[in-house]
Amino acid sequence: MMNHLLLFCHPSSHSFNHALLEVYSKELEKSGHSVDVRNLYDLDFQPVLTESEYKNSLEFRYEADVLKEQEYIAWCDRLALIYPVWWGGMPALLKGYIDRVFSYGFAYELDGEEPVPRLQGKSAVTICTTGTPSEIYDENGMHDAMDTARNVSIFEFCGIKATHSLYFGNVILAGDEKRRNMLEEVRQLAVSGPKPY
């Protein structure tokens, strides 16, 4: 059994993103895993990294809200990000969470210009929705670009193994059957675990 931390970032509890979160978390719990959900909007998390906070992090000093979130990150074996793709990337609140929580001294250090990852042994999955049909993002390279920006520049930089990305496209216009299939794909991910790229 594993410790799963789910970082959820959508302003509406009635969204399809929230339905994906519910299916994924409940299925993990049914399988006996420990699950903690951090709903960033419910937390009212302040996402802006200030100059003083940035300087303090270089001396391994962090704000109380950041220390609390770092405890969750340290606890988990597998991290899941669940969010809508806005303007080709993650919502600003989630990016700000990463800016502040995945800080120097906790998630990574530097040896000269060489990164020293500090979160080895953890893995991560990403579950995203897009308004654009997936076929278009497959063709124009957006899925690959988002994977590189997130999985390489964030996860791998910190030593986290990115194992799977799910992109559910055209969710605004998708019919009930397509949405049921999307929910089932997420349920299967929780049951069987992420498949390697």
Q: What is the reported pLDDT for 113?
A: 87
Between the CA of residue 19 and those of 10, 78, 80, 126, 192, what are the distances in Å? 11, 20, 15, 15, 19
Q: Is the pLDDT reported for residue 44 higher than 90?
A: no
Q: What is the reported pLDDT for 194?
A: 52
| Distance (Å, whole) CA 189 – CA 126 | 11
Q: What percent of the chain has pLDDT over 70?
A: 98
Q: Which run of H or of E encompasses 62?
A: none
Residue 182 three-state SS: helix
Tens-digit pLDDT profile for residues 163-191: 999 999 999 889 999 999 999 999 999 99
* Domains in the chain with CATH codes: 3-23+33-192 (3.40.50.360)
Between the CA of residue 122 and those of 38, 69, 76, 85, what are the distances in Å? 17, 16, 7, 24
Tens-digit pLDDT profile for residues 122-134: 999 999 999 999 9
Amino acid at 170: N
- Beta strands of 66-173 (E only): which ranges? 78-84, 108-111, 114-117, 123-129, 161-168
| Distance (Å, whole) CA 80 – CA 21 | 10
What pTM, to 2 d.p., does this model score?
A: 0.94
Q: What is the reported pLDDT for 171?
A: 92
For the chain, the 3-state helix, strand and coil shares in percent, each to the nearest 5, are 45, 25, 30
Q: Is the pLDDT reported for residue 197 higher than 70?
A: no
Q: Using DSSP bridges, classify how beta strands 114-117 and 108-111 pair: parallel, antiparallel or unpaired.
A: antiparallel
Residue 62 vs residue 44, higher pLDDT: 62
Q: Is the pLDDT reported for residue 36 higher than 60?
A: yes
